[in-house]
Amino acid sequence: MRGKVLETLVLTVAARWNAAYEWSHHAPIAAAAGVAPECVEAIRQGREPRGDDEVAAVWAVVQELSTIGDLAEKTYRSAVDRWGERQTVELITAAGYYTMLGWILNVAQVVPEEQDDENGKGSS
């Protein structure tokens, strides 16, 4: 999995967990991968992105995973119909990985470079 699907996933996870470092690194990559600016902004605000069915589908899957830790049968079937079973499993796995990474970055108080202080960590 790569490109627009992966970057939409990463932004959705980063927005969900307020992972600023993850967001700051992936927002430009998402834009370069074809995620429209209005979709990026909607994701940042926690709103469903409009105007791109694939971006909206990724967002819906990741939101459901992040909210209930599972996918309803309808959501899972919709994902499999769109991407196939293998890529759907990869999407779920990547959501878990980027969630874990976002948590680690948050707990370690890693902030985007432009917010670093002299110790390399943001203020508490």
pLDDT for 119 beyond 80: no
Long-range contacts from 24-27, C-beta under 8 angstroms, 24+ separation: 24/112, 24/113, 24/114, 25/112
Taken in order of first residue, the domains within the chain and their CATH numbers are 3-115 (1.20.1290.10)
Q: Are 24 and 119 in contact (CB under 8 A)?
A: no
Q: Whole-model pTM above 0.85?
A: yes
* Per-residue pLDDT band at 113 (split at 50, 70, 90): confident
pLDDT for 18 beyond 90: yes
pLDDT for 86-110, tens place per residue? 999 999 999 999 999 999 999 999 9
Distance CA 21, CA 71 (A): 27
pLDDT for 43-83, tens place per residue? 999 999 999 999 999 999 999 999 999 999 999 999 999 99
